[in-house]
């Protein structure tokens, strides 16, 4: 969703001839957002797997 908003903002800036964003800056923001999403996915997934595994050893 955030990537779509960044692209929309870039398009509106280009359409109004403001040139607030350079292509490189927008691609960097999209790249960093994607990395943050993937990192969150890996951490959440690994936490789920660890908790799911340890659930079988519960005390009560």
pLDDT, position 14: 80
The H-assigned helical ranges of the chain are 2-15, 23-54
What b/e string do you get for 5-23 counting C-beta neighbours within 10 Å, with b at 16 or more?
A: ebeeebeeeeeeeeeebee
DSSP 1: -
The confidence band for 4, taking pLDDT boundaries of 50, 70 and 90, is confident
pLDDT, position 45: 98
pLDDT tens-digit profile of 5-38? 878 887 888 888 877 777 788 788 889 989 999 9
Of 2 and 54, the structure prediction assigns the larger pLDDT to: 54
Of 23 and 40, the structure prediction assigns the larger pLDDT to: 40
């Amino acid at each position: 969703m955030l990537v779509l908003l960044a692209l929309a903002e870039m398009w509106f800036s280009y359409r109004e001839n403001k040139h607030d964003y350079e292509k490189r800056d927008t691609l960097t923001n999209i790249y960093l957002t994607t990395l943050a999403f993937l990192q969150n996915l890996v951490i959440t997934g690994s936490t789920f797997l660890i908790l799911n595994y340890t659930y079988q050893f519960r005390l009560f």
